[in-house]
Amino acid sequence: MNQDHIDPELLELIANRHALRLSAEKIQKSRDFIVQAAKATKTILDPAVRLDELHVTSRFDASSIRVRRYQPAAITSDTPALLHCHAGGFVMGTPEMADLENIRLVKDLKCAIFSVDYRLAPEHPYPAALHDIYSVLSWMHDNAETLKIDQARIGIKGESGGGGIAAGVALFVRDTPGPKLAFQHLIYPMLDDRTVLRTDIHEHIGQVMWTNEHNRFGWYSLLGKEPGSAEVSPYAAAARAPDLRGLPPTFISVGALDLFCEENIAYAQRLLTQGVPVELHVYPRAFHGFRNATNSRVAKQAAQDSLAALRRSLCG
């Protein structure tokens, strides 16, 4: 594959990437690799940050949902909060993957973060993950005083598949009586199952890290049927929503070579035309997951833009 169109500072990430094994028979190997990689990354706690785990009972069944909580050591009664949905294409991942970033965000923003170990597809297709995330949001809202968080400043954040789940939850929250979200913060979110069916995507797009083959498996696992089928719920694939009015202010960040780039831009444009405040960033020569190349200039810029947006959303 010709790599001239890729930011040269990102090439090392491609060279060292783990070959994803996305099939019903091989998915566990990729999951195990991610868990081991997270364990190998030493989590160094700052004295200003407290990290613990909680278990929340689902609002929809009797299941217990593990939540990893990060908060300032000196938390106040009106601390803003983030509900976090980890990456993994609907089929992989754990909250521990984001330990380092979440600890930095708590330190920089003086916020609390609740990262959910939501159920994964294909064993638990839609709406399992949606139900898990919404259950934790409801629990946060109902227990805000005990948790010392501000009900009016709870936002949702997610990356990749977690960004897609976050967008679906934002729609569900809009349409459901109960707790509301102050904003949604989406990092290269997985929004549209119909992208799998496209044949007009440029050859440079979606060639590394997350390909159309991966995308098909992720969506098929979540939906339990072929992507692009009729009657897919917008709470599963947010781009399917016919009406985006009333959604909270939205931040979207994506690389120009990401398979999700066009669906992210289209979603942002629809939000804008329907009156939703939007901040959209498209980073040139960057592919899906480029923010993992933390020493690259483009990843540093994306992290800086994301932090600034979160500061505005959480802190005013």
For residue 1, the model assigns a pLDDT of 57
For residue 215, the model assigns a pLDDT of 97
| Distance of alpha carbon 173 from alpha carbon 222, whole angstroms | 20
For residue 38, the model assigns a pLDDT of 78
| 106: in domain | yes
| 20: in domain | yes
For residue 134, the model assigns a pLDDT of 98
Asked if 241 contacts 171 with a C-beta cutoff of 8 angstroms, the reply is yes
Domain count, the chain: 1
| 2: in domain | no
Domain that holds residue 245: 8-315
Radius of gyration of the chain measured on its C-alpha atoms: 18
| 274: in domain | yes
Q: Both tokens of residue 193?
A: 């199952």
| 256: in domain | yes
| 1: in domain | no
CATH number at residue 278: 3.40.50.1820
For residue 17, the model assigns a pLDDT of 63
For residue 18, the model assigns a pLDDT of 57
Nearest to 220 by CA among 131, 130, 89: 89
| 3: in domain | no
| 130: in domain | yes
For residue 206, the model assigns a pLDDT of 94
- Ordered per-residue pLDDT tens for the chain, 316 residues: 568 899 999 999 987 665 566 777 788 888 888 888 877 776 667 899 999 999 999 999 989 999 999 999 998 889 999 999 999 999 999 999 999 999 999 999 999 999 999 999 999 999 999 999 999 999 999 999 999 999 999 999 999 999 999 999 999 999 999 999 999 999 999 999 999 999 999 999 999 899 999 999 999 999 999 999 999 999 999 999 999 999 999 999 999 999 999 999 999 999 999 999 999 999 999 999 999 999 999 999 999 999 999 999 998 7
Q: Name the β-bridge partners of 70.
A: 51, 113
> Packing angle between helix 297-315 and helix 99-109, nearest 10 degrees?
50
